[in-house]
Chains A and B, each alone.
Chain A
Amino acid sequence: MIATQENTMKDTDIKRLLYTHLLCICSIILSIFIPSFFLENFSILETHLTWLCICSVSVTAVNLVLYLVVKPNASSKRSSLSFKVTRFVKCCVYFLMSCFTFHVIFVLYGAPLIELVLETFLFAVTLSTFTTVPCLCLLGPNIKAWLRVFSRNGVTSVWENSLQITTISSFVGAWLGAFPIPLDWERPWQVWPISCTLGATFGYVAGLFISPLWIYWNRKQLTYKNN
């Protein structure tokens, strides 16, 4: 009886997960096409920075809205306004910190230190949008929970599982995106950081696609620790 209930819970969760992910993908696709109606000469490659801004803003917005609507981890305790405000401020600080951390990591990976600072930073912002924002939405500013989710066997729900997959695929996408840079094809998208941002975006979209399917496929084997 309980088992069947759990199963149905999981199935509805997976369905909701799929819909939210489809919405996220839509937001990215729209961020490519909608601005060209309002802005002249808009294209991903030519006005890359504008696109980066639009894309990260729209993905953040969609994530926040979805979080407020779907409420995946229904926190039972009612919290005061001040708690919510501090939580929000904390989230913002965390987001900024993750942007700067990513920026530092890019520079350590070999991004130019002084030239192209804006490009590098916007890439960091985009990558944070794809990874940190969902984490903050789902887990809140709670380092321990993050570490738990990203250690090997620490996932406790379908949502966290999908979070793990999308985050890792965004990172891997950004990582793979660096490969074409040294090739001598002389294409416009080989310039730093365009290939990496595109790679991160593809990785994120792929993660969004794959994670519901993968979870659905493996739903029999997946048993989450009840807490």
Chain B
Amino acid sequence: MRLGSGTFAACCVVVEVLGVVLFLRGFFPAPVRSSSSSKHQAEPPAPEPSAGASSNWTKLPPPLFSKVVIVLIDALRDDFVFGSKGVKFMPYTTYLVEKGASHSFVAEAKPPTVTMPRIKALMTGSVPGFIDVVMNLNSPALLEDNVITQAKAAGKRIISYGDETWVKLFPKHFVEYDGTTSFFVSDYTEVDENVTRHLDKVLKRGDWDVLILHYLGLDHIGHVSGPSSPLIGRKLSEMDGVLMKIHTALLSEERETLLPSLLVLCGDHGMSETGGHGASSTEEVSTPLLLVSSAFERKPGDIRYPKHVQQTDLAATLAIGLGLPIPKNSVGHLLFPAIEGKPMREQLRFLHLNTVQLTKLLQENVPSFEKEPGFEQFKISERLHGNWIRLYLEENNSEVLFNLGTKVRRQYLDALKTLSLSLSRQVAQYDVYSMVVGTVVVLEVLTLLLLSIPQALSSKAELEVPLLSPVFSLLFYLTFLVLSAVHVIVCTSTESSCYLCSLSWLTAGGVMVLVSALLCAVVSALTKVLVRGKLLSKNAAHSNSRWSELDLLILLGTLGHVLSLGASSFIEEEHQTWYFLVSTLCLALCHDIYRNYLPGDDCEPQRCLHVEGGFDGATPALQDKNTSSAVLELNRGCKSPSSLGTLRGYEKWMVLASPWVILTCCRLLRSLNQTGVQWAHRPDLGHWLTSSDHKAALSVLAALSLAVIFALIQRRCSPASKVAMALGLLGVYCYRAAIGNVLFPWQQDNKDISKGILEARFVYVFVLGILFTGTKDLLKSQVVAAGFTVKTVGLWELYSGFVLLAALLLRPHNLPVLVLSLLIQTLMAKFVWKPLRHDVAEVTVMHYWFGQAFFYFQGNSNNIATVDISAGFVGLDTYVEIPAIFLTAFATYTGPVLWASHLVSFLSSEASRITAGDRSLDSPEGLLEGRSPCHRALS
């Protein structure tokens, strides 16, 4: 089957996307959550089960504790409290653990062991899925049902001191708060003093119900000097003092109230041996959990060892302790020791509430929940519970009652354990089968693509895809049969849910056909390439084309970037990689230019220093390139150093200076927005500009930028779109002035700030107009075959439409990014790519690099928090999903999109230049002048 290169590439991309989607579907299992999770209205609590006789206890049980203090110490590992360090540095806590009225546990945290997901897990009891990040893109606030929200709804007064993540997660939940940031890792005294200084006052006041203290110091010490540092001991002693203070204050207050109070000591995650956290090693996931309350009184000699529990269990326990409904998505089960001291009826009631909640969650997430062992156990225990209630109400003999109660209780605890286990397994399980199939599809397409590159880029720009003949081959049917058998076996044997198995048989069969057809295509393409390679190696021994330094840099840089993504800190600081590569690219271009153009350098071929065999490894690739890049090379063969002579003086100097100008531009942009993780807090120009004191400077800058944008973009536009562009850019400034970002000279005080709907829509009209003209030209060039010039004009119009849209959406302090991007594109096109005659592949990769660098110049990073959501609301009254998503995506990817569209327009203009040059070879001056074909078409 013959296909055009473009069609083939498009097909490959489509199949690739399918494969990636399949992989991601397996990699990110859907989180376990209740379908009614968005609604916060309280459902009536499950009434006590009763068999026959009616029980009248349908309300929620009253709280067990009057006051709850949660002391969360960041990166508190279990052995800091229960191990030798605890004995040495935390004497009071050790006393509480060993002899005091307390229950201690080792709580296991689920990875990622980072603070925010851990706080979510502690408060909602659910295991945050990765998909959550996408789900609440709109706000960092926690929307899921959680203990804090429930407590607030129940009228409890909550106070939070410490890490400001709490304030971000639960905005408007706290009657009083003081957030400390964890930016300055080297500070480990002041962050904690900022928490402790409130303690005396708050403990004395006592007008609160829940107090949350989040200490960051220990984590900071861990990051700086590791878990065996002497500073750790000092910090632990300090924390011990804090605990003692709180506990004594709580005890003294308890005498006045009826109910006891609860002190919870926990860590959000542990600390690895190097002091970091985030992964899933034992040191990182084990955290201590200590519940202290006078309700947990124990007899002397009662030794309690720390039991292993899940971190998610705390949410249910806290909810019960405060007399609140258990969060709907909680997968944890109640820590039973906390309610052990209560009368049997209450104990059973609590256990019943927890089991009902878990069963409901199970029902909503597992289609075949009736078969789950946990569900059966629940049914049995509920029935037993009903019987027990009847006996209780009939006031039977207490011993029988007690024995039966113990039995019910054991039954309930078993049910809880099974339910909780199967629910959290649901979350933490990768769907390996879907992942494998997705990976196989992606790899097959990739191989096919790589194998067909030489053919696809050849002069005919079409290729023979070996698809039809293999479809009728034996190999295809055999693979299909094997795959189907594997599918059946996998789907019938696994207990867990699997995405591919839940698809219909026809769809799954389609996937199998796809996989085996691709396999056959790859195999036949491979044999073809091998055969051709053998032929080539006979007659292509003497190829004297060598890769230039620039080619080498481009190849190694791109490969190196891909490899660098293996290290997490290189992902966090990816912008540094791109800035570094782009700077190096500029220097390499500079070297190239100077070697070709500097006066006095006679580049006549010198017959010296022949190194044979130095490029052995690269020869096959070279041959490929040699044989197939006939069309790629835009006149490269006639690259002559004497072309400098034809350049006029000013242009020559521009050629020599342009790499330095570009480097300077990149450096300026780099200091505009600091992104990443390590240096994100550094002061940058962007913050300086956006602060309200420098509004005048920002206005001048914005106006100047818009003017320069117009000057740079108008030179190749048709008159109509020139006017549209000018009006549009004027509209952009008006829009920014209307929403109060910039000032008009005549308007000194920002009196009325509107949403600027009218102005923004005014700009949209012009954007759409320009885009429409561009599309019309493109279509015309397709239909009428009017040649390249019309197409080039159309592409440039599309490009300028994108620029106008970007000017509207980018924040005013980011307008220089747009300006400098246009400037660099102009300089590169005019003074680097054209005179040096770089081939299409080089130009494409350079566009890609610059596009990536500009993505980060805008202030983006790989952190989803840096996405500027406000762009989605430009010109819209309310949140409308589709336009908002489109606008946000465009604003985020402005850099890459603009460079990609510039690439298309540049390549088309080059192609038209070359065809024009072929037609009028007798006037080479017109070629080298750099006059745009667009101009010529117009004049």
A residues apposed to B, CB below 8 Å: 105, 107-110, 113, 144, 147-148, 151-156, 161, 175, 178, 181-184, 186, 218, 221-225
In the assembled complex, 19 residue pairs joining A and B whose CB atoms fall closer than 8 Å, in A order, are: A105-B587, A109-B580, A110-B583, A110-B667, A110-B670, A151-B603, A153-B605, A153-B606, A153-B609, A155-B608, A161-B609, A183-B569, A184-B276, A184-B568, A184-B569, A184-B572, A186-B224, A218-B611, A222-B611
Contact with A along B577-610 (1 / 0, CB 8 A): 1011001100100000011001011010111111
B interface, CB within 8 angstroms of A: 223-224, 276, 567-570, 572-573, 576-577, 579-580, 583-584, 587, 594-595, 598, 600-601, 603, 605-612, 663-664, 666-667, 670-671, 676, 678
Instruction: From B603, B609, B611, B678, name the one whose CB has the most chain A CB atoms within 10 angstroms.
Output: B609
Question: With A110-B670, A147-B601, A221-B611 in contact, do A184 and B664 touch (Cβ < 8 Å)?
Answer: no
A147 in contact with B569 given A153-B609, A225-B608 (CB within 8 Å): no
Pair A156/B576 contact, Cβ less than 8 Å: no
Q: Of all chain A residues, which has the CB nearest B275?
A: A186
Max chain A C-beta neighbours (<10 A), residue from B223, B610, B676? B610
A110-B667, A151-B595, A154-B606 as given contacts; A221 in contact with B587, CB under 8 Å: no
Residues of B within 8 A of A186 (CB): 223-224
Contact B667 A184 (CB under 8 A): no
Using A147-B601, A222-B609 as known contacts, say yes or no to A108 and B569 having CB atoms under 8 A apart: no
A-B interface, 10 closest residue pairs, ranked by CB to CB distance from nearest? A182-B573, A184-B569, A153-B606, A225-B608, A108-B663, A183-B569, A108-B667, A109-B583, A182-B576, A147-B601
Tell whether, in the assembled complex, residue B600 and residue A183 are in contact, meaning their CB atoms are under 8 Å apart: no
A182 to B663, CA, bound (A): 21
List A contacts of B670 (CB < 8 A).
Answer: 110
Task: Give the chain A neighbours of B678 by CB distance below 8 A.
Answer: 182, 184
Q: Which residues of B contact A225 (CB under 8 A)?
A: 606-608
**Interface majority SS (helix, strand, loop, mixed), chain A:** loop
Is there contact, CB below 8 Å, between B598 and A110? no
Whole-angstrom distance between the Cβ of A123 and the nearest chain B Cβ: 16
> Which B residues are in CB contact (< 8 Å) with A154?
606, 608
Chain B residues with CB below 8 A from A151, complex form: 595, 601, 603
Q: How far is the CA of A201 from the CA of B676 in the complex (A)?
A: 29
Whether the pair A182, B601 counts as a contact (CB closer than 8 A) is: no
Which of A151, A182, A218 has its CB near the most chain B CB atoms (within 10 A)? Answer: A182
Q: Are B666 and A108 in contact (CB under 8 A)?
A: yes
Max chain A C-beta neighbours (<10 A), residue from B573, B584, B667: B667
Which residues of the partner chain B approach A105 to less than 8 Å between Cβ atoms? 587
Report how far A7 CA is from B271 CA in the complex, Å: 65
Contact B580 A178 (CB under 8 A): yes
CB-nearest residue of chain A to B668: A108
**How distant is the Cα of A222 from the Cα of B609 in the complex, in angstroms?**
5
B529 to chain A, nearest CB (A): 32
Q: Which of A107, A108, A161 has the most CB of B within 10 A?
A: A108
Most chain B CB atoms below 10 A, which of A152, A181, A223 = A152
A178 to B576, CA, bound (A): 10
Q: Out of B567, B605, B610, B664, which one reaches A108, CB within 8 Å?
A: B664
Known contacts A105-B587, A108-B663, A110-B580, A147 near B594 by CB under 8 Å: yes
Query: In the complex, which residues of chain B have a beta carbon less than 8 angstroms from the beta carbon of A113?
Result: 671
Q: Which residues of A sit under 8 angstroms from B610, Cβ to Cβ?
A: 221, 223
8 other A-B residue contacts (CB within 8 Å) besides A155-B609, A222-B611: A147-B594, A152-B595, A182-B570, A184-B569, A184-B572, A186-B224, A223-B610, A225-B607
A36 to chain B, nearest CB (A): 26
Do B579 and A110 have beta carbons less than 8 Å apart?
yes
Q: Tell me, rounded to whole Å, the shortest Cβ–Cβ distance linking B476 to chain A.
A: 46
Residues from chain B with a CB closer than 8 A to the CB of A153 are 605-609
* Alpha-carbon separation in the docked complex, A183 to B667 (Å): 21
Minimum CB–CB distance for B329 against chain A, Å = 33
Q: In this complex, what residue of B is CB-closest to A181?
A: B576
Q: Check A107–B606 contact: CB distance below 8 A.
A: no
Residues of A within 8 A of B671 (CB): 113
Chain A: CB-nearest residue to B564: A179
Report the Cα distance A186→B224, complex, angstroms.
8
Chain A residue nearest to B682 in the complex (CB):
A112
> Could you tell me the distance between the alpha carbons of A139 and B766 in the complex, rounded to whole angstroms?
61
Known contacts A108-B664, A225-B606: does B569 contact A182 (CB below 8 Å)? Answer: yes
| Cβ–Cβ contact A148 & B570, under 8 A | no
Minimum distance in angstroms from B616 CB to a CB of chain A: 14
What residues on B are CB-neighbors of A107 within 8 Å? 667
Closest to A156 in B: B608
Separation of A24 and B676 alpha carbons in the complex (Å): 41
Provide the residues of chain A in CB contact with B595, threshold 8 Å. Answer: 147, 151-152
Give Cα distance in the complex from A218 to B614, angstroms. 10
Which residues from B are CB-within-8-Å of A109? Answer: 579-580, 583, 667
Cα–Cα distance between A153 and B601 once the two chains are bound (Å): 12
The CA-CA distance from A186 to B221 in the complex, in Å, is 13
Report the Cα distance A147→B603, complex, angstroms. Answer: 10
Residues of A within 8 A of B576 (CB): 110, 181-182
**What's the minimum C-beta distance from A8 to chain B, rounded to whole angstroms?**
20
> What distance in Å separates the Cβ of A34 from its nearest Cβ neighbour in chain B?
33
In the assembled complex, the Cα of A69 lies from the Cα of B595 at a distance in Å of 33
In the complex, how many angstroms separate the beta carbon of A95 from the nearest chain B beta carbon?
20
Say yes or no: A224 contacts B601, CB within 8 Å: no
- Complex: how many Å from CA A107 to CA B670? 11
Docked pose: A88 CA to B572 CA in angstroms? 49
Q: How far is the CA of A156 from the CA of B671 in the complex (A)?
A: 44
- Asked if A147 and B580 sit within 8 Å, CB to CB, the answer is no
> Is A224 touching B584 in the complex (CB atoms < 8 A)?
no
Residue of A161, A175, A184, A222 most packed against chain B (CB within 10 A)? A184
A222 to B607, CA, bound (A): 11
Knowing A108-B667, A110-B583 touch, does A223 contact B608 (C-beta < 8 A)? yes
Nearest chain-B residue to A144 (Cβ)? Answer: B600
Residues of A within 8 A of B568 (CB): 184
Contact pick for B584, options A144, A175, A182, CB 8 Å: A175
Per the bound structure, the CA–CA distance linking A125 and B666 in Å amounts to 24
Check B580 against A144 for contact (C-beta < 8 Å).
no
Complex formed: what's the CA distance from A153 to B606 in Å?
Answer: 6
Chain A residues lying within 8 Å of B577, measured Cβ to Cβ, are 182
Output the nearest chain B residue to A147 by Cβ-Cβ distance.
Answer: B601
Contacts of B598 in A (CB 8 A): 147
Question: Min CB distance, B790 to chain A, in Å?
Answer: 41
Residue of chain B at shortest CB distance from A107: B667
Chain B residues closer than 8 Å to A144, beta-carbon distance: 600-601
Q: How far is the CB of A120 from chain B (nearest CB, A)?
A: 13
> Would you give the shortest CB distance from B589 to chain A, in whole angstroms?
13
Q: Which residues of A contact B587 (CB under 8 A)?
A: 105
Bound complex: CA of A221 vs CA of B671, how far in Å? 49
Q: Considering only CB atoms, which chain B residue lies closest to A178 in the complex?
A: B580
Contacts known (A151-B601, A153-B609); A108 close to B573, Cβ less than 8 A: no
Q: Considering the chains assembled together, what is the distance between the CA atoms of A155 and B567 in angstroms?
A: 40
**Residues on B with beta carbons closer than 8 Å to the beta carbon of A181:** 576
* Distance in Å: Cβ of B563 to nearest Cβ of chain A: 11
Bound together, the chains give a CA A68 to CA B923 distance in angstroms of 57
In the complex where A147-B598, A182-B678 touch, is A224 in contact with B567 (Cβ < 8 A)? Answer: no
- Distance A156 CA – B576 CA, assembled complex (angstroms): 39
Min CB gap A177→B, angstroms: 12
- Docked Cα-Cα span, A93 to B600, in Å, equals 22
Q: List A contacts of B579 (CB < 8 A).
A: 109-110
CA distance A178 to B667 in the complex (A): 16
B-chain residues with CB within 8 Å of residue A223 when the two chains form the complex? 608-610
**Are the C-beta atoms of A224 and B608 separated by less than 8 Å?**
yes
Q: CA A151 – CA B549 in complex, angstroms?
A: 11
Check A221/B612 contact, CB under 8 A, given A105-B587, A182-B569.
yes
With a cutoff of 8 Å between Cβ atoms, the chain A residues found around residue B664 in the complex are: 108
| Contacting residues, chain A, for B608 (C-beta < 8 A) | 153-156, 223-225
Closest-by-CB residue of A relative to B660 is A108
Nearest B-chain residue to A185, judged by Cβ:
B569
User: When chains A and B are docked, how far (Å) is the Cα of A189 from the Cα of B663?
Assistant: 27
Chain B nearest CB: distance from A11 CB in Å?
Answer: 18
